Structure 1
Amino acid sequence: MDFATQNRQLIINSVRQLGSAIESCSDVEKRLEHSNQMKRIRAINTLGSKWVLHPEYDSCRCAHHSTAFKKSAVLEVFLQGRMAREMGRV
């Protein structure tokens, strides 16, 4: 019985020591504040370069706004109709 009690006490003491070493959320936020601020600035700059009204905007760098990426439904129907007429299906 004494041996088990001593083991339990050692385990309890080791857990208490680990608990004091764990950082709280506010400590982690303070430690990472500078890197989070730099990541925020980098993200804003990246979004700014993809924003259409940004002075450095270039549609070639943004696939979503690239004219080669977009398809026009009206143009697609027109081309299909034209091809159908040229091939004699209509």
Structure 2
Amino acid sequence: MTTKTIQKATSRGQITLPVAWRKKFNTNQFLMEAEESFLKIVPIDTDDLGEYEVVFDAARDNDGKGILGRDLIKMIQKIDG
């Protein structure tokens, strides 16, 4: 399995995780962390969600519409202070 790939963001700021990665981790929940020079995406078990803060839920927060990646990063940075 390839462990690195270059993905182009859509015009809406979305990226697609390769199908092999999605199958390997068998989850649709991911922890996203903005580091100084990179974005870290970590698959998580839904049983462990209690220890994480949901910053954006499209259905809850935006009438089911997604947001741009840069806007999500701003939200994460605001939480991290």
TM over 0.5: no
* Higher relative contact order (Cα pairs below 8 Å, separated by 6+ residues): 2
Provide TM-score, normalisation by structure 2.
Answer: 0.19
The structure with the largest strand share of the pair is 2
Bigger radius of gyration: 1
